[in-house]
A and B are shown apart, each in its own frame.
Chain A
Amino acid sequence: MIFDFQYVAASLKVAVKYIPTTLMLSVLPLFIGIVFGTWIAICRRFRIRIIAKLADILIPVTKGIPLVLHLFIMNFLILKPLDFLSQWYGWADALRFMDKTYIGIVAISIYAVVVISETMRSALISVDDGQYEAGYSVGLTRWQTLRRVVLPQAFPFAVPVLCNNFIGLIKGSSIVYLITVVDVMNGALTSAQINYRFLEAYIAAAMIYWMMCLTVERVSIILEKHLKKYQYRVQENNLRREVL
Protein backbone atom coordinates (compact mmCIF):
# COMPACT_ATOMS: atom_id res chain seq x y z
CA MET A 1 0.00 0.00 0.00
CA ILE A 2 1.37 3.39 -0.88
CA PHE A 3 1.13 6.34 1.39
CA ASP A 4 -1.57 8.66 0.10
CA PHE A 5 -1.94 12.13 1.41
CA GLN A 6 -5.54 12.29 0.26
CA TYR A 7 -6.53 9.92 3.01
CA VAL A 8 -4.73 12.04 5.57
CA ALA A 9 -6.82 15.00 4.49
CA ALA A 10 -10.00 12.95 4.69
CA SER A 11 -9.16 11.77 8.19
CA LEU A 12 -8.20 15.29 9.23
CA LYS A 13 -11.59 16.54 8.15
CA VAL A 14 -13.37 14.12 10.43
CA ALA A 15 -10.94 14.39 13.34
CA VAL A 16 -11.12 18.18 13.49
CA LYS A 17 -14.76 17.89 14.48
CA TYR A 18 -13.73 16.11 17.65
CA ILE A 19 -11.30 18.75 18.88
CA PRO A 20 -13.98 19.97 21.32
CA THR A 21 -14.18 16.48 22.84
CA THR A 22 -10.42 16.32 23.27
CA LEU A 23 -10.46 19.81 24.74
CA MET A 24 -13.20 18.80 27.15
CA LEU A 25 -11.11 15.79 28.16
CA SER A 26 -8.12 17.99 28.93
CA VAL A 27 -9.38 21.45 29.91
CA LEU A 28 -11.87 20.18 32.45
CA PRO A 29 -9.27 17.97 34.19
CA LEU A 30 -6.83 20.89 34.04
CA PHE A 31 -9.32 23.11 35.80
CA ILE A 32 -10.26 20.46 38.36
CA GLY A 33 -6.57 19.70 38.82
CA ILE A 34 -5.69 23.33 39.49
CA VAL A 35 -8.49 23.76 42.03
CA PHE A 36 -7.98 20.55 43.99
CA GLY A 37 -4.27 20.28 43.33
CA THR A 38 -3.67 23.75 44.75
CA TRP A 39 -5.88 22.95 47.69
CA ILE A 40 -3.97 19.74 48.45
CA ALA A 41 -0.63 21.52 48.03
CA ILE A 42 -1.75 24.19 50.49
CA CYS A 43 -2.86 21.58 53.03
CA ARG A 44 0.52 19.90 52.72
CA ARG A 45 2.42 23.16 52.99
CA PHE A 46 0.61 24.09 56.18
CA ARG A 47 0.62 20.51 57.43
CA ILE A 48 -3.11 20.51 57.96
CA ARG A 49 -3.70 17.47 60.10
CA ILE A 50 -5.18 14.41 58.44
CA ILE A 51 -5.32 15.79 54.92
CA ALA A 52 -1.60 16.49 54.78
CA LYS A 53 -0.70 13.05 56.12
CA LEU A 54 -3.13 11.37 53.76
CA ALA A 55 -1.82 13.31 50.79
CA ASP A 56 1.78 12.45 51.70
CA ILE A 57 0.90 8.80 51.15
CA LEU A 58 -1.76 8.96 48.46
CA ILE A 59 -0.12 11.39 46.06
CA PRO A 60 3.14 9.49 45.46
CA VAL A 61 1.23 6.22 45.30
CA THR A 62 -1.40 7.46 42.84
CA LYS A 63 1.30 9.12 40.78
CA GLY A 64 2.84 5.69 40.22
CA ILE A 65 -0.26 4.35 38.46
CA PRO A 66 -0.19 4.93 34.69
CA LEU A 67 -3.04 6.96 33.26
CA VAL A 68 -4.30 4.07 31.18
CA LEU A 69 -4.79 2.00 34.32
CA HIS A 70 -6.72 4.84 35.95
CA LEU A 71 -8.93 4.81 32.91
CA PHE A 72 -9.47 1.05 32.81
CA ILE A 73 -10.11 0.82 36.53
CA MET A 74 -12.54 3.74 36.45
CA ASN A 75 -14.25 2.29 33.41
CA PHE A 76 -14.64 -1.02 35.14
CA LEU A 77 -15.81 0.45 38.43
CA ILE A 78 -18.49 2.51 36.73
CA LEU A 79 -19.66 0.05 34.11
CA LYS A 80 -19.71 -3.24 35.96
CA PRO A 81 -22.23 -2.16 38.59
CA LEU A 82 -24.38 -0.76 35.79
CA ASP A 83 -24.17 -4.06 33.97
CA PHE A 84 -25.41 -5.71 37.07
CA LEU A 85 -28.19 -3.23 37.76
CA SER A 86 -29.35 -3.18 34.17
CA GLN A 87 -30.90 -6.60 34.66
CA TRP A 88 -33.61 -4.83 36.62
CA TYR A 89 -33.46 -1.15 35.92
CA GLY A 90 -33.94 0.58 32.62
CA TRP A 91 -31.93 3.66 33.57
CA ALA A 92 -28.87 1.60 34.33
CA ASP A 93 -29.11 0.02 30.94
CA ALA A 94 -29.40 3.42 29.33
CA LEU A 95 -26.39 4.73 31.26
CA ARG A 96 -24.39 1.74 30.17
CA PHE A 97 -24.57 2.67 26.55
CA MET A 98 -24.24 6.37 27.04
CA ASP A 99 -21.27 8.27 25.72
CA LYS A 100 -18.38 7.39 28.00
CA THR A 101 -16.62 10.72 27.79
CA TYR A 102 -17.49 11.37 31.41
CA ILE A 103 -15.53 8.29 32.49
CA GLY A 104 -12.53 9.67 30.65
CA ILE A 105 -12.97 13.01 32.33
CA VAL A 106 -13.13 11.41 35.77
CA ALA A 107 -10.04 9.27 35.21
CA ILE A 108 -7.99 12.05 33.65
CA SER A 109 -9.08 14.46 36.39
CA ILE A 110 -7.79 12.17 39.13
CA TYR A 111 -4.51 12.00 37.28
CA ALA A 112 -4.49 15.78 36.80
CA VAL A 113 -5.14 16.48 40.48
CA VAL A 114 -2.15 14.35 41.44
CA VAL A 115 0.20 15.84 38.88
CA ILE A 116 -0.85 19.44 39.44
CA SER A 117 -0.76 19.12 43.22
CA GLU A 118 2.94 18.34 42.82
CA THR A 119 3.39 21.33 40.51
CA MET A 120 1.71 23.62 43.01
CA ARG A 121 3.64 22.13 45.88
CA SER A 122 6.96 23.07 44.36
CA ALA A 123 5.54 26.47 43.43
CA LEU A 124 4.53 27.08 47.05
CA ILE A 125 7.93 25.93 48.27
CA SER A 126 9.59 28.33 45.84
CA VAL A 127 8.17 31.24 47.85
CA ASP A 128 10.60 32.14 50.59
CA ASP A 129 9.60 31.48 54.22
CA GLY A 130 10.35 35.12 54.93
CA GLN A 131 7.34 36.12 52.83
CA TYR A 132 5.02 34.10 55.04
CA GLU A 133 6.64 35.52 58.16
CA ALA A 134 6.39 39.08 56.91
CA GLY A 135 2.69 38.47 56.28
CA TYR A 136 2.17 37.16 59.79
CA SER A 137 4.22 39.99 61.26
CA VAL A 138 1.88 42.64 59.90
CA GLY A 139 -1.07 40.72 61.32
CA LEU A 140 -2.34 38.83 58.30
CA THR A 141 -3.94 35.48 58.96
CA ARG A 142 -2.57 32.36 57.33
CA TRP A 143 -5.29 32.48 54.69
CA GLN A 144 -4.78 36.19 54.02
CA THR A 145 -1.02 35.69 53.68
CA LEU A 146 -1.65 32.89 51.25
CA ARG A 147 -4.11 34.80 49.14
CA ARG A 148 -2.42 38.20 49.12
CA VAL A 149 1.27 37.32 49.22
CA VAL A 150 2.14 33.69 48.55
CA LEU A 151 -0.20 32.66 45.74
CA PRO A 152 0.46 35.80 43.66
CA GLN A 153 4.15 34.87 43.81
CA ALA A 154 3.67 31.13 43.37
CA PHE A 155 1.42 31.23 40.31
CA PRO A 156 3.86 32.96 37.95
CA PHE A 157 6.39 30.33 38.95
CA ALA A 158 3.84 27.58 38.26
CA VAL A 159 2.54 28.83 34.89
CA PRO A 160 5.14 27.24 32.60
CA VAL A 161 4.92 23.95 34.47
CA LEU A 162 1.12 24.07 34.36
CA CYS A 163 1.29 24.57 30.61
CA ASN A 164 3.47 21.48 30.42
CA ASN A 165 0.97 19.59 32.55
CA PHE A 166 -1.75 20.74 30.19
CA ILE A 167 0.16 19.44 27.17
CA GLY A 168 0.54 16.15 29.02
CA LEU A 169 -3.23 16.04 29.57
CA ILE A 170 -4.01 16.76 25.91
CA LYS A 171 -1.70 14.00 24.77
CA GLY A 172 -2.79 11.67 27.54
CA SER A 173 -6.46 12.12 26.71
CA SER A 174 -5.91 10.27 23.43
CA ILE A 175 -6.12 6.97 25.27
CA VAL A 176 -9.87 7.34 25.81
CA TYR A 177 -10.35 5.73 22.41
CA LEU A 178 -9.51 2.50 24.26
CA ILE A 179 -12.88 2.75 26.01
CA THR A 180 -14.59 3.73 22.73
CA VAL A 181 -14.92 7.45 23.38
CA VAL A 182 -14.79 9.32 20.09
CA ASP A 183 -12.16 12.04 20.42
CA VAL A 184 -9.66 13.39 17.88
CA MET A 185 -7.78 10.09 17.83
CA ASN A 186 -10.86 7.94 17.38
CA GLY A 187 -12.41 10.40 14.96
CA ALA A 188 -9.35 10.19 12.73
CA LEU A 189 -9.61 6.41 12.80
CA THR A 190 -13.26 6.16 11.76
CA SER A 191 -12.60 6.11 8.04
CA ALA A 192 -9.62 3.80 8.50
CA GLN A 193 -11.97 1.16 9.84
CA ILE A 194 -13.39 0.99 6.32
CA ASN A 195 -10.45 1.67 4.03
CA TYR A 196 -7.61 0.35 6.21
CA ARG A 197 -5.63 3.53 5.72
CA PHE A 198 -4.38 3.39 9.30
CA LEU A 199 -1.05 5.11 8.77
CA GLU A 200 -2.74 8.08 7.14
CA ALA A 201 -5.32 8.21 9.93
CA TYR A 202 -2.71 8.17 12.69
CA ILE A 203 -0.73 10.85 10.93
CA ALA A 204 -3.85 12.99 10.68
CA ALA A 205 -4.47 12.56 14.41
CA ALA A 206 -0.82 13.34 15.12
CA MET A 207 -1.09 16.60 13.15
CA ILE A 208 -3.98 17.79 15.25
CA TYR A 209 -2.39 16.89 18.58
CA TRP A 210 0.82 18.50 17.41
CA MET A 211 -0.94 21.73 16.50
CA MET A 212 -2.81 21.79 19.79
CA CYS A 213 0.37 21.25 21.80
CA LEU A 214 2.25 23.87 19.79
CA THR A 215 -0.54 26.34 20.50
CA VAL A 216 -0.32 25.70 24.23
CA GLU A 217 3.46 26.00 24.02
CA ARG A 218 3.13 29.35 22.26
CA VAL A 219 0.73 30.61 24.89
CA SER A 220 3.13 29.36 27.55
CA ILE A 221 6.01 31.26 25.97
CA ILE A 222 3.95 34.43 25.71
CA LEU A 223 2.87 34.15 29.33
CA GLU A 224 6.41 33.43 30.42
CA LYS A 225 7.76 36.40 28.47
CA HIS A 226 5.14 38.53 30.12
CA LEU A 227 6.32 37.37 33.53
CA LYS A 228 9.97 37.64 32.53
CA LYS A 229 9.53 41.17 31.24
CA TYR A 230 8.52 42.16 34.70
CA GLN A 231 11.58 40.42 36.09
CA TYR A 232 13.89 41.98 33.50
CA ARG A 233 12.59 45.41 34.31
CA VAL A 234 13.33 44.67 37.89
CA GLN A 235 16.77 43.37 37.13
CA GLU A 236 17.68 46.32 34.94
CA ASN A 237 16.92 48.59 37.81
CA ASN A 238 18.73 46.25 40.09
CA LEU A 239 21.92 46.76 38.14
CA ARG A 240 21.73 50.46 38.68
CA ARG A 241 20.86 50.14 42.30
CA GLU A 242 24.28 49.78 43.90
CA VAL A 243 25.61 52.69 41.86
CA LEU A 244 23.07 55.04 43.39
Chain B
Amino acid sequence: MIQLKGVRKSFGKNEVLKGVDLSVKTGEVVVVLGPSGSGKTTLLRCINFLEAADDGELTIGDTKISFKHATSKEILNVRRQTAMVFQNYNLFSNMTALENVMEGLVTARNVPVAQAKEIAQKALDKVGLTDKYDSFPLQLSGGQQQRVGIARAVALNPEVILFDEPTSALDPELVGEVLAVMRKVAQDGITMVVVTHEMSFANDIANHIVFMDEGVIVEEGSPKEIFSNPKEERTKQFLERILPRWSFSI
Protein backbone atom coordinates (compact mmCIF):
# COMPACT_ATOMS: atom_id res chain seq x y z
CA MET B 1 0.00 0.00 0.00
CA ILE B 2 1.21 3.51 -0.75
CA GLN B 3 0.09 6.71 0.81
CA LEU B 4 0.82 10.31 -0.07
CA LYS B 5 0.23 13.11 2.37
CA GLY B 6 0.32 16.83 1.69
CA VAL B 7 2.46 16.67 -1.43
CA ARG B 8 3.49 20.11 -2.59
CA LYS B 9 5.54 21.06 -5.61
CA SER B 10 6.29 24.38 -7.26
CA PHE B 11 8.18 25.21 -10.41
CA GLY B 12 9.49 28.65 -9.60
CA LYS B 13 6.40 30.67 -8.69
CA ASN B 14 4.04 28.23 -10.33
CA GLU B 15 2.60 26.01 -7.62
CA VAL B 16 1.68 22.82 -9.44
CA LEU B 17 0.76 20.54 -6.53
CA LYS B 18 -0.97 22.22 -3.62
CA GLY B 19 -1.13 19.55 -0.98
CA VAL B 20 -2.23 16.26 -2.51
CA ASP B 21 -3.33 13.31 -0.35
CA LEU B 22 -3.72 9.97 -2.02
CA SER B 23 -3.80 6.42 -0.82
CA VAL B 24 -3.61 3.33 -2.95
CA LYS B 25 -4.39 -0.08 -1.49
CA THR B 26 -2.48 -3.17 -2.53
CA GLY B 27 -3.89 -4.69 -5.70
CA GLU B 28 -5.95 -1.64 -6.45
CA VAL B 29 -6.07 0.21 -9.77
CA VAL B 30 -6.32 3.96 -9.28
CA VAL B 31 -7.00 6.13 -12.32
CA VAL B 32 -6.12 9.81 -12.15
CA LEU B 33 -8.17 12.11 -14.36
CA GLY B 34 -7.92 15.82 -14.88
CA PRO B 35 -7.50 18.56 -17.44
CA SER B 36 -4.16 19.29 -19.04
CA GLY B 37 -1.76 21.08 -16.73
CA SER B 38 -3.55 19.98 -13.58
CA GLY B 39 -0.41 18.30 -12.25
CA LYS B 40 -1.07 14.60 -12.93
CA THR B 41 2.30 13.91 -14.49
CA THR B 42 4.05 15.90 -11.80
CA LEU B 43 2.30 13.84 -9.11
CA LEU B 44 3.45 10.54 -10.62
CA ARG B 45 6.97 11.84 -11.08
CA CYS B 46 7.06 12.92 -7.45
CA ILE B 47 6.11 9.44 -6.30
CA ASN B 48 9.30 7.94 -7.68
CA PHE B 49 11.39 11.05 -7.13
CA LEU B 50 11.96 11.89 -10.78
CA GLU B 51 10.77 15.24 -9.54
CA ALA B 52 11.77 16.40 -6.06
CA ALA B 53 8.59 17.44 -4.23
CA ASP B 54 8.92 20.40 -1.87
CA ASP B 55 6.89 19.05 0.97
CA GLY B 56 4.82 16.06 2.07
CA GLU B 57 5.21 12.46 3.02
CA LEU B 58 5.29 9.17 1.23
CA THR B 59 4.53 5.83 2.82
CA ILE B 60 5.36 2.80 0.78
CA GLY B 61 5.18 -0.71 2.27
CA ASP B 62 6.23 -0.04 5.82
CA THR B 63 8.68 2.79 5.23
CA LYS B 64 7.76 6.41 5.65
CA ILE B 65 9.73 9.10 3.85
CA SER B 66 9.48 12.85 4.02
CA PHE B 67 9.97 14.44 0.61
CA LYS B 68 11.91 17.31 2.06
CA HIS B 69 14.55 15.25 3.81
CA ALA B 70 14.80 12.16 1.66
CA THR B 71 18.32 10.75 1.47
CA SER B 72 19.65 9.36 -1.77
CA LYS B 73 19.52 5.90 -0.19
CA GLU B 74 15.81 6.30 0.58
CA ILE B 75 15.16 7.60 -2.91
CA LEU B 76 16.86 4.58 -4.45
CA ASN B 77 14.86 2.35 -2.14
CA VAL B 78 11.57 3.90 -3.28
CA ARG B 79 12.59 3.64 -6.90
CA ARG B 80 13.28 -0.04 -6.43
CA GLN B 81 9.79 -0.57 -5.09
CA THR B 82 8.08 1.35 -7.88
CA ALA B 83 8.17 1.21 -11.64
CA MET B 84 7.08 3.65 -14.28
CA VAL B 85 5.64 3.39 -17.77
CA PHE B 86 6.34 6.56 -19.72
CA GLN B 87 4.22 8.41 -22.21
CA ASN B 88 7.03 8.29 -24.78
CA TYR B 89 8.18 4.77 -23.81
CA ASN B 90 11.79 5.76 -22.93
CA LEU B 91 13.17 2.33 -23.70
CA PHE B 92 16.96 2.16 -23.42
CA SER B 93 17.84 2.63 -27.05
CA ASN B 94 21.20 0.86 -26.73
CA MET B 95 19.59 -2.38 -25.55
CA THR B 96 17.37 -5.02 -27.08
CA ALA B 97 13.86 -5.61 -25.78
CA LEU B 98 15.09 -8.45 -23.60
CA GLU B 99 18.02 -6.46 -22.26
CA ASN B 100 15.68 -3.58 -21.50
CA VAL B 101 13.57 -5.81 -19.29
CA MET B 102 16.59 -7.49 -17.67
CA GLU B 103 18.43 -4.27 -16.85
CA GLY B 104 16.56 -3.35 -13.67
CA LEU B 105 16.75 -6.92 -12.42
CA VAL B 106 20.43 -7.51 -13.09
CA THR B 107 21.98 -4.14 -12.41
CA ALA B 108 19.65 -2.66 -9.81
CA ARG B 109 18.65 -5.80 -7.92
CA ASN B 110 21.55 -8.14 -8.53
CA VAL B 111 19.36 -10.96 -9.82
CA PRO B 112 21.60 -13.60 -11.48
CA VAL B 113 21.61 -13.20 -15.25
CA ALA B 114 20.09 -16.60 -16.04
CA GLN B 115 17.22 -16.06 -13.65
CA ALA B 116 16.68 -12.49 -14.85
CA LYS B 117 16.55 -13.72 -18.41
CA GLU B 118 13.84 -16.20 -17.50
CA ILE B 119 11.78 -13.53 -15.74
CA ALA B 120 12.27 -11.11 -18.63
CA GLN B 121 11.22 -13.67 -21.21
CA LYS B 122 8.11 -14.46 -19.24
CA ALA B 123 7.25 -10.78 -18.99
CA LEU B 124 7.73 -10.28 -22.72
CA ASP B 125 5.65 -13.38 -23.44
CA LYS B 126 2.90 -11.93 -21.34
CA VAL B 127 2.78 -8.74 -23.37
CA GLY B 128 2.80 -10.80 -26.57
CA LEU B 129 6.31 -10.09 -27.78
CA THR B 130 7.76 -13.59 -27.79
CA ASP B 131 9.25 -13.03 -31.23
CA LYS B 132 10.82 -9.65 -30.42
CA TYR B 133 13.33 -10.52 -27.69
CA ASP B 134 16.31 -9.35 -29.70
CA SER B 135 14.81 -6.33 -31.43
CA PHE B 136 16.13 -2.88 -30.64
CA PRO B 137 13.57 -0.23 -29.65
CA LEU B 138 13.80 1.60 -32.96
CA GLN B 139 12.94 -1.63 -34.76
CA LEU B 140 9.63 -1.84 -32.92
CA SER B 141 6.34 -0.07 -33.54
CA GLY B 142 5.13 2.40 -30.94
CA GLY B 143 2.65 -0.09 -29.53
CA GLN B 144 5.31 -2.79 -29.29
CA GLN B 145 7.71 -0.38 -27.61
CA GLN B 146 5.13 0.54 -25.04
CA ARG B 147 4.43 -3.15 -24.39
CA VAL B 148 8.15 -3.64 -23.75
CA GLY B 149 7.90 -0.67 -21.40
CA ILE B 150 5.12 -2.41 -19.52
CA ALA B 151 7.06 -5.68 -19.44
CA ARG B 152 10.05 -3.81 -18.07
CA ALA B 153 7.91 -2.50 -15.24
CA VAL B 154 6.08 -5.76 -14.55
CA ALA B 155 9.26 -7.84 -14.46
CA LEU B 156 10.46 -5.88 -11.46
CA ASN B 157 7.44 -7.01 -9.47
CA PRO B 158 7.16 -3.61 -7.79
CA GLU B 159 4.77 -2.44 -5.08
CA VAL B 160 3.17 -0.19 -7.64
CA ILE B 161 3.44 0.59 -11.34
CA LEU B 162 2.92 4.20 -12.38
CA PHE B 163 1.48 4.74 -15.87
CA ASP B 164 1.64 8.24 -17.34
CA GLU B 165 -0.68 8.44 -20.34
CA PRO B 166 0.82 5.26 -21.79
CA THR B 167 -1.24 5.40 -24.96
CA SER B 168 -1.37 9.07 -25.80
CA ALA B 169 1.69 9.00 -28.06
CA LEU B 170 0.34 6.07 -30.06
CA ASP B 171 -1.46 5.94 -33.37
CA PRO B 172 -5.14 5.17 -32.75
CA GLU B 173 -4.96 1.66 -34.19
CA LEU B 174 -2.16 0.75 -31.79
CA VAL B 175 -3.89 1.95 -28.61
CA GLY B 176 -5.96 -1.20 -28.27
CA GLU B 177 -3.05 -3.62 -27.96
CA VAL B 178 -1.50 -1.61 -25.14
CA LEU B 179 -4.77 -1.26 -23.25
CA ALA B 180 -5.31 -4.99 -23.57
CA VAL B 181 -1.93 -5.65 -21.98
CA MET B 182 -2.70 -3.21 -19.18
CA ARG B 183 -6.00 -4.98 -18.52
CA LYS B 184 -4.09 -8.22 -18.18
CA VAL B 185 -1.67 -6.66 -15.74
CA ALA B 186 -4.55 -5.28 -13.71
CA GLN B 187 -6.20 -8.69 -13.58
CA ASP B 188 -3.01 -10.14 -12.12
CA GLY B 189 -3.62 -8.01 -9.08
CA ILE B 190 -0.71 -5.62 -9.55
CA THR B 191 -1.14 -2.24 -7.90
CA MET B 192 -1.40 0.46 -10.54
CA VAL B 193 -1.73 4.23 -10.66
CA VAL B 194 -2.80 5.25 -14.15
CA VAL B 195 -3.07 8.68 -15.73
CA THR B 196 -5.13 8.38 -18.88
CA HIS B 197 -7.60 10.13 -21.10
CA GLU B 198 -9.17 6.84 -22.24
CA MET B 199 -12.45 7.13 -20.37
CA SER B 200 -14.04 3.81 -21.23
CA PHE B 201 -10.85 2.06 -20.29
CA ALA B 202 -10.75 3.96 -16.99
CA ASN B 203 -14.33 2.95 -16.35
CA ASP B 204 -13.48 -0.70 -16.99
CA ILE B 205 -10.35 -1.21 -14.97
CA ALA B 206 -10.39 1.38 -12.19
CA ASN B 207 -11.26 0.44 -8.64
CA HIS B 208 -10.94 4.02 -7.69
CA ILE B 209 -10.94 7.26 -9.65
CA VAL B 210 -9.29 10.49 -8.63
CA PHE B 211 -10.13 13.78 -10.30
CA MET B 212 -7.47 16.47 -10.11
CA ASP B 213 -7.61 20.09 -11.06
CA GLU B 214 -5.16 22.91 -10.50
CA GLY B 215 -2.93 20.93 -8.20
CA VAL B 216 -5.52 19.53 -5.83
CA ILE B 217 -7.70 16.44 -5.75
CA VAL B 218 -11.18 17.77 -6.34
CA GLU B 219 -13.13 14.55 -6.04
CA GLU B 220 -12.56 10.83 -5.74
CA GLY B 221 -14.65 7.70 -5.66
CA SER B 222 -15.60 4.57 -7.56
CA PRO B 223 -15.96 4.80 -11.35
CA LYS B 224 -19.71 4.68 -10.95
CA GLU B 225 -19.79 7.58 -8.52
CA ILE B 226 -17.50 9.73 -10.63
CA PHE B 227 -18.88 8.97 -14.07
CA SER B 228 -22.60 8.78 -13.42
CA ASN B 229 -22.97 10.95 -10.39
CA PRO B 230 -20.20 13.52 -9.99
CA LYS B 231 -20.74 15.89 -7.10
CA GLU B 232 -18.33 18.70 -7.85
CA GLU B 233 -19.03 21.29 -10.50
CA ARG B 234 -15.49 21.10 -11.90
CA THR B 235 -15.73 17.33 -12.33
CA LYS B 236 -19.03 17.69 -14.15
CA GLN B 237 -17.62 20.28 -16.53
CA PHE B 238 -14.57 18.15 -17.27
CA LEU B 239 -16.63 15.03 -17.96
CA GLU B 240 -19.11 16.92 -20.10
CA ARG B 241 -16.29 18.19 -22.21
CA ILE B 242 -14.68 14.81 -22.61
CA LEU B 243 -17.48 12.26 -22.53
CA PRO B 244 -19.30 13.10 -25.77
CA ARG B 245 -16.10 12.40 -27.61
CA TRP B 246 -15.72 9.19 -25.73
CA SER B 247 -19.23 7.89 -26.40
CA PHE B 248 -18.74 8.40 -30.10
CA SER B 249 -15.65 6.31 -30.15
CA ILE B 250 -17.33 3.22 -28.77
* Chain A residues near B (Cβ < 8 Å): 128, 130-131, 133-141, 144, 148-149, 152-153, 233-235, 237-238, 241-242, 244
Partner of B88, one of A130, A135, A141: A130
Q: Is B141 an interface residue (CB 8 A)?
A: yes
For A156, the closest partner residue in chain B by CB is B94
CB distance from B45 to the nearest CB of A (A): 8
Whether A235 and B76, one on each chain, are in contact in the complex, defined by CB atoms closer than 8 angstroms, is no
Whether A139 and B108, one on each chain, are in contact in the complex, defined by CB atoms closer than 8 angstroms, is yes
Whether B138 and A235, one on each chain, are in contact in the complex, defined by CB atoms closer than 8 angstroms, is yes
Using an 8 Å CB-CB cutoff, how does the interface string of B70-93 with A read, 1 for contact, 0 for none?
Answer: 000000100110111010101111
Partner of A133, one of B86, B103, B109, B171: B86
CB distance from B79 to the nearest CB of A (A): 5
Residues of B within 8 A of A244 (CB): 141
Number of B interface residues in the complex (CB < 8 A):
32
For A128, the closest partner residue in chain B by CB is B90
Using an 8 Å CB-CB cutoff, how does the interface string of B43-75 with A read, 1 for contact, 0 for none?
Answer: 000001110000000000000000000000000
Whether A136 and B94, one on each chain, are in contact in the complex, defined by CB atoms closer than 8 angstroms, is no
Residues of A within 8 A of B140 (CB): 241
Q: Is B9 an interface residue (CB 8 A)?
A: no
A79 to B176, CA, bound (A): 74
Residues of B within 8 A of A134 (CB): 84, 86, 90-92
Question: Assuming A134-B92, A136-B48, A137-B83, what are 9 further A-B pairs, CB within 8 angstroms?
Answer: A133-B50, A134-B86, A138-B108, A140-B107, A148-B107, A149-B92, A153-B93, A234-B136, A241-B139
Whether A138 and B86, one on each chain, are in contact in the complex, defined by CB atoms closer than 8 angstroms, is no
Q: Is B104 an interface residue (CB 8 A)?
A: yes
Residues of A within 8 A of B93 (CB): 131, 153
Whether A138 and B50, one on each chain, are in contact in the complex, defined by CB atoms closer than 8 angstroms, is no
A141 to B109, CA, bound (A): 11
24 chain-A/chain-B pairs, Cβ below 8 angstroms: A130-B90, A133-B84, A134-B90, A134-B91, A138-B79, A138-B152, A138-B156, A139-B76, A139-B80, A139-B108, A140-B104, A140-B107, A141-B76, A144-B107, A149-B92, A149-B95, A234-B138, A235-B138, A237-B138, A237-B139, A238-B138, A238-B139, A241-B139, A241-B140
Partner of A137, one of B84, B136, B138: B84
A16 to B69, CA, bound (A): 63
CB distance from A229 to the nearest CB of B (A): 13
Main secondary structure of the interface of A (DSSP, over half): helix
* Chain B residues near A (Cβ < 8 Å): 48-50, 76, 79-80, 82-84, 86, 88, 90-95, 103-104, 107-109, 135-136, 138-141, 152-153, 156, 171
A139 to B93, CA, bound (A): 17
For B95, the closest partner residue in chain A by CB is A149
Residues of A within 8 A of B82 (CB): 137
A238 to B135, CA, bound (A): 11
A134 to B80, CA, bound (A): 12
CB distance from A204 to the nearest CB of B (A): 45
For A138, the closest partner residue in chain B by CB is B104
Whether A241 and B156, one on each chain, are in contact in the complex, defined by CB atoms closer than 8 angstroms, is no
A138 to B48, CA, bound (A): 10
CB distance from B214 to the nearest CB of A (A): 25
CB distance from A86 to the nearest CB of B (A): 52
For B50, the closest partner residue in chain A by CB is A133
Partner of B86, one of A130, A139, A233, A242: A130
A233 to B134, CA, bound (A): 13
A140 to B86, CA, bound (A): 16
A235 to B138, CA, bound (A): 7
Residues of B within 8 A of A153 (CB): 93-94
- What 9 pairs across the A-B complex have the smallest Cβ distances? A138-B104, A139-B108, A139-B80, A130-B90, A134-B90, A137-B84, A237-B139, A234-B138, A152-B94
Residues of B within 8 A of A152 (CB): 94
Partner of A135, one of B49, B92, B109, B139: B92
Residues of A within 8 A of B108 (CB): 138-141, 144
CB distance from B165 to the nearest CB of A (A): 14
For B138, the closest partner residue in chain A by CB is A234
Residues of A within 8 A of B107 (CB): 140, 144, 148
Partner of B90, one of A133, A148, A233, A235: A133
Residues of B within 8 A of A131 (CB): 90, 92-93
